[in-house]
Amino acid sequence: MRHKLLGVASLVVAGHASLAQGTRTPIAARVTVVSESRDSTCWELAQSPANAKLLACTSSTNDLRVINTETHAAIVLVPGIYAGQPAWSRAGDRIVWQGEGDHIWSIAVDPRTGTRAGDARRISVGTGRAPSFSPNGKQIAFLRHIEDRKQSVMVMPADGGQETKLAECYSNGPLSWSPDGSALFYPSAPGSSAGRQAADVFRVAADGRSKPVRIVSLGDEIFRGMSPDGRFMVSGPHVDPTGWALGTVTLRDASGKVLGQAVTPRGAGDVSDNGDDWTLRPLQIVARREWKPRVLRSLNLATGESRELARSTDDLFMPNWSPDGRRISVQVLEGDRVVLALMNPDGSDRRILRTTAEPAFIPRVPRASGNAWSPDSRWLLYLAVTGRERQLHVVDVAANKDLTLVHGSVEIPAFHWLDNSRGVRYMKVEGTGNSARSSVHEVSLDGADRELRVLEAKGIMQFVGADWVLSGTAGTLERVSGGAARQLHASMPGFLAAVSSDGHQIAFLPNRMGSSTEPAQYDVVSVDNGTMQTVKLAPGLASTLPFFTSDGRSLLVPNANSGSNERTPTTPAQVLVVPIAGGASRVATTLPAQERFSGGILSPDGKTLLYVSDSPVQQKVLSLDLSGILSEPRDKKP
């Protein structure tokens, strides 16, 4: 299942030779809003082929429901479950999904209203995912896990029964039927590549009497399904690691020949994990878009006074103070592009910094990526993502001059300015998995780059000042100049740690956020001598990633009482001040109802907390019309 919002990514077309031959200029897909939700959202959904106003919805409140987009009424079919990859029969009288025990489940519904017409029941003998009804509704195709990322393409009667293996593939789907139900189309990545990555498209007979036939290679694109009439297929680039975001989609004929491309709305993604977004309407796919309205606020820690500085209907993150305390930077979505906005500490004199690339944000390292001021407050460093390439840029704030320091097909999980503001140290990860090579590099403002050392530890890593690298996973410190790793804390399963502003203290989260059996606590370790103080929170509180106060004597703990699970707080979320040496905690601020703390930073003088709070998720279901691709005239050849 995929409980997430889409992170920042550039909408780019994957570079494959076939796309350059006779393609048209990408058009903008025509967008129609099918439905909009402001209270609960659908993690996955499917539109009824027989009644377009009915949506099968895997609800964020853990149930399978049908939503009427005209009346906005919701009918809960099966409570208390996660219904993965829901799919309708063409007649609109059945819904299937991956359910309890990872089996395929089914329920009969009234095609006019979506109300229950029977009980939910398991129909597969073994496990399965990505179910798909045949055009006549008599069979269901699905995938069954074999090992690692290897799957079997299976087919069975719609009411359950004999399960026939048709082929093997390395893919999570989708499975698309031919119009007459005689064959299935599916993708398979070469070797054992992960999930829905670059793939060949195959056709296999549904009766299992013939071997699969390769139809086309999509190069670096993802297969997004065949149209119900069998005339077209859609593919698209890797906009995000999961293949969820649509980006610029490519329309192809049934043989895989490129017909043209269409740009989809920013943040629009698959409606289901199986990735088949086609509707029965000609050249129309369905998509969903989710966002969280965000507010940037400042909090005076002495008086408790809070001030709203900026508000966004979508992405707003990574606020940062200039070291002289005179300016604030924040990344915000304006129009269809993320920009770096600058403002005074009171929110006045706001302007957009001119950048040559789009600033990005890596959610898994929220305090080590995004943007960072140089110690002299002259330069602003930011990370950009273009396709699979990562870039580090610096901008002269006064002159609005953008320089590219680093670029390449590598990961850059963290960076830190040198104390003299003349260069940057950054972590570079080449490769993936156990074979990945992690190193620390130093690059000057003129682009001269040198490797300082290869890192021993792996996992989530962050800088402690410019001279040390911390692995929260391994609990070790490695000096940038070289030498053996120093053990500070026991290893922990992939989690960040908090570092004091002077770099002398580190707060580890040994029990992550805590549980009924493992109390919420912090282990605060001195970098200088290795001594440790354990800070335990009161029962019922969660140990979220904290901030050190400027004097290093207390921790600021956001969302400790509510909102730590990234869901809408049931009670107003608080930021607590927790003394490290012991003593009673106090409330620094209470956020407005249904808002949760989602990132922040202390001012250089330690008196003001700058933070972003987000509101409940909002969602739109969109219909994207691709027919303009066929009516667009071809580009003239030189």
pLDDT tens per residue, range 519-550: 899 999 999 999 999 999 998 899 898 999 99
473, 492, 522 - which closes a domain: 473
Mean per-residue pLDDT for 4-20? 31
Same domain, 130 and 245: yes
Q: Can you give the pLDDT at residue 113?
A: 96
Give the global pTM.
0.74
Residues 178-218 have pLDDT tens digits of 999 999 999 998 654 444 456 899 999 999 999 999 999 99
Best mean pLDDT range from 286-290, 309-313, 435-439, 446-450: 446-450
Mean per-residue pLDDT for 30-41? 83
Same domain, 287 and 311: no
| Strands (DSSP E) found in 292-366 | 294-300, 306-312, 316-321, 328-334, 337-343, 351-353
Domain membership flag for residue 507: no
CATH, residue 457: 2.120.10.30
The two three-digit tokens of residue 278, written as one number: 């086609």
Residue 348 burial by Cβ neighbours in a 10 Å radius (0-12, 13-18, 19+): exposed
Grouping H, G, I as helix, E, B as strand and the rest as coil, residue 294 is strand
Same domain, 409 and 453: yes
Grouping H, G, I as helix, E, B as strand and the rest as coil, residue 628 is helix
Grouping H, G, I as helix, E, B as strand and the rest as coil, residue 435 is helix
Domain membership flag for residue 520: no
**Exposure on the CB side of residue 87, measured as CA atoms within 13 A:** 31
Domain membership flag for residue 503: no
At residue 405, does pLDDT exceed 90?
Answer: yes
Same domain, 191 and 113: yes
What is the layout of strands, in order, in the sheet containing 449-454?
Answer: 415-417, 423-430, 437-444, 449-454
Mean per-residue pLDDT for 449-461? 88
Same domain, 49 and 71: yes
- Give the residues across from 192 on adjacent strands: none
427, 453, 473 - which closes a domain: 473
Q: Whole-number mean pLDDT of the chain?
A: 87
Q: Residue 114, by phi and psi: left (phi above 0), alpha (psi -120 to 50) or beta?
A: left
pLDDT band at 492 (very low <50, low <70, confident <90, very high): confident
Instruction: Quote the CA–CA distance of 488 and 477 in Å, as a whole number.
Output: 7
Instruction: Quote the CA–CA distance of 563 and 596 in Å, as a whole number.
Output: 6
Domain membership flag for residue 504: no
Residues 598-618 have pLDDT tens digits of 888 999 999 999 999 988 888
At residue 479, does pLDDT exceed 50?
Answer: yes
Q: How many CB atoms lie within 10 A of CB 248?
A: 19
Same domain, 259 and 379: no
Same domain, 320 and 431: no
How many domains does one find in the chain? 3
Q: Can you give the pLDDT at residue 241?
A: 55
Question: Phi, psi at residue 141, to the nearest 5°?
Answer: -95, 150
Q: How many CB atoms lie within 10 A of CB 336?
A: 11
Same domain, 163 and 264: yes
Same domain, 235 and 117: yes
At residue 379, does pLDDT exceed 60?
Answer: yes
Q: Can you give the pLDDT at residue 374?
A: 96
What is the layout of strands, in order, in the sheet containing 547-548?
Answer: 547-548, 554-558, 574-579, 586-590
CB within 8 Å of 272: residues ≥ 6 apart: 44, 45, 46, 85, 86, 87
Domain membership flag for residue 511: no
pLDDT band at 128 (very low <50, low <70, confident <90, very high): very high
Residues 345-373 have pLDDT tens digits of 999 999 999 999 988 865 544 444 568 99
Q: Can you give the pLDDT at residue 39?
A: 62
Q: Percentage of residues in the chain with pLDDT exceeding 90?
A: 62
**Residue 329 belongs to domain spanning:** 293-350+537-616
453, 473, 493 - which closes a domain: 473
CA torsion angle 48 53 58 61 (round to 10):
-160
At residue 43, does pLDDT exceed 80?
Answer: yes
Q: Can you give the pLDDT at residue 340?
A: 92
- What type of residue sits at position 99? G
Same domain, 282 and 320: no
At residue 134, does pLDDT exceed 90?
Answer: yes
Domain membership flag for residue 374: yes
Q: Between 3 and 603, where is the model more confident? A: 603
Same domain, 306 and 389: no
Mean per-residue pLDDT for 551-568? 90
Domain membership flag for residue 157: yes
Same domain, 228 and 338: no
Q: Can you give the pLDDT at residue 168?
A: 94
Q: Are strands 27-28 and 258-263 parallel, antiparallel or unpaired?
A: parallel
Residue 142, CA distances (Å) to 123, 129, 136 in order: 12, 6, 16
- Give the residues across from 318 on adjacent strands: none
Question: How far out from the chain centre does Cα 155 lie?
Answer: 32
Q: Can you give the pLDDT at residue 198?
A: 61
Q: Residue 165, by phi and psi: left (phi above 0), alpha (psi -120 to 50) or beta?
A: beta
The two three-digit tokens of residue 489, written as one number: 């804390």
Residues 408-438 have pLDDT tens digits of 999 898 899 999 999 999 999 998 777 889 9
Grouping H, G, I as helix, E, B as strand and the rest as coil, residue 330 is strand
Q: Can you give the pLDDT at residue 14?
A: 28
At residue 239, does pLDDT exceed 70?
Answer: no
Q: Percentage of residues in the chain with pLDDT exceeding 70?
A: 90
Best mean pLDDT range from 76-85, 261-270, 290-299, 361-370: 76-85
Q: Can you give the pLDDT at residue 362?
A: 57
Domain membership flag for residue 494: no
At residue 17, does pLDDT exceed 80?
Answer: no
Q: Can you give the pLDDT at residue 556?
A: 95
Mean per-residue pLDDT for 79-83? 92
pLDDT band at 270 (very low <50, low <70, confident <90, very high): confident
Q: Between 637 and 319, where is the model more confident? A: 319
Which uninterrupted H or E stretch holds 629? helix 628-631
